[in-house]
């Protein structure tokens, strides 16, 4: 109700300022302000539509949001609008279109060195590719993200890339690789002086390490021989990493 009414008012404001160079006291044109407000309102309307599974209506609204974001002249706004539109296509089952628009979003966030935007966009791409069974392609894509983050010294993006890669390997039982990526994420997190993030990455490391130990633990149990029993008893005494081969 109120959001739609606000949209009507700002649409009228947009048409009044279209083509004009009038500026407010901060130096922004009134038209760019109208575009920014319309982008926000269209995004809010689309969120509600997506909640109600009105995917096609949400897509139409977010296309309008992307158009006004472009006209507003803010690359940040355009990147966010493209990201939101890609998610709507994803929810509608149109994965290739979603990926295409996500790539646009990635390019914009890369140009802006926007770590938060990049993390969300790459996570969305990875989710879609994995859902299509394209795990190898996902890993390759995320490795490129990781390399780009390292080259640009974007440590937050490096953390995001390593965590995404670690999760993929962890879910597939490749715990050594998962632990390696989570460890890299932890090291990158330390450079950001972000204690909650450091704790989060340490938790990921702990999970991967526990999975590694369980593989070794279970293999010793399954063998049911004296040597394996000896290792299990030794581990019980000191709770050390059980990574060495008993043979």
Give the pLDDT confidence score for residue 26 in this predicted structure.
Answer: 83
CATH for 6:
1.25.40
Range(s) of the domain holding residue 17? 1-89
Give the pLDDT confidence score for residue 19 in this predicted structure.
Answer: 82
Question: DSSP label at 27?
Answer: S
Q: Which residues contact 104 (CB under 8 A, 6 or more apart)?
A: 82
Distance CA 95, CA 136 (A): 18
Q: What is the DSSP string of 123-158?
A: HHHHHHHHHTT-HHHHHHHHHHHHHHHHHTT-HHHH
Give the pLDDT confidence score for residue 204 in this predicted structure.
Answer: 95
Give the pLDDT confidence score for residue 76 in this predicted structure.
Answer: 97
82 closest CA partner among 62, 54, 58, 61:
62
Give the pLDDT confidence score for residue 116 in this predicted structure.
Answer: 93
| Nearest-10 Cα torsion for 219, 224, 227, 232 | 60
Instruction: Say if 45 falls within a structural domain.
Output: yes
Instruction: Say if 208 falls within a structural domain.
Output: no
User: What sign does the dihedral 31-32-33-34 (CA atoms) show?
Assistant: positive
Report in angstroms the alpha-carbon separations of 181 from 133, 201, 203, 217.
21, 10, 13, 23
Give the pLDDT confidence score for residue 247 in this predicted structure.
Answer: 35
Instruction: Say if 206 falls within a structural domain.
Output: no
Own/partner pairs, 60-66, CB within 8 angstroms, 24+ separation? 62/88, 64/38, 65/38, 65/39
Give the pLDDT confidence score for residue 220 in this predicted structure.
Answer: 52
Structural domain count, the chain: 1
Q: Which residues contact 57 (CB under 8 A, 6 or more apart)?
A: 49
| Token output for 202 | 């340490």
Instruction: Say if 69 falls within a structural domain.
Output: yes
Identify the residue whose tokens are 């009414």: 5
Instruction: Please list the rounded mean pLDDT of every run of 10 residues in the chain (247 residues).
Output: 87 87 84 95 97 97 97 96 98 97 96 95 96 95 94 94 96 94 96 95 93 67 65 62 45
Instruction: Say if 103 falls within a structural domain.
Output: no
């Amino acid at each position: 109700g109120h959001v739609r009414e606000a949209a009507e008012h700002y649409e009228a404001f947009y048409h009044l300022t279209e083509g004009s160079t009038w500026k407010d006291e901060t130096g922004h044109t009134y038209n760019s302000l109208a575009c920014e407000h319309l982008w926000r309102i269209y995004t809010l309307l689309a969120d509600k539509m997506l909640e109600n599974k009105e995917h096609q209506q949400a897509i139409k609204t977010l296309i309008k949001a992307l158009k006004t974001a472009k006209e507003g002249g803010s690359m940040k706004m355009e990147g966010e609008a493209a990201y939101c539109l890609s998610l709507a296509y994803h929810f509608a089952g149109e994965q290739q279109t979603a990926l295409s628009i996500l790539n646009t979003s990635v390019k914009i966030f890369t140009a802006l060195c926007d770590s938060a935007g990049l993390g969300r966009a790459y996570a969305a791409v990875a989710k879609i590719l994995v859902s299509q069974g394209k795990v190898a392609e996902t890993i390759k894509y995320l490795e490129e993200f990781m390399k780009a983050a390292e080259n640009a010294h974007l440590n937050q993006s490096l953390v995001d890339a390593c965590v995404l890669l670690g999760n993929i390997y962890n879910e597939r039982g490749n715990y050594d690789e998962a632990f390696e990526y989570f460890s890299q994420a932890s090291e990158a997190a330390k450079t950001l002086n972000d204690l909650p993030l450091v704790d989060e990455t340490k938790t990921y490391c702990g999970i991967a390490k526990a999975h590694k130990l369980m593989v070794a633990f279970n293999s010793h149990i399954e063998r049911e021989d004296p040597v394996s029993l000896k290792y299990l008893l030794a581990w019980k005494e000191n709770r050390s990493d059980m990574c060495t081969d008993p043979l």
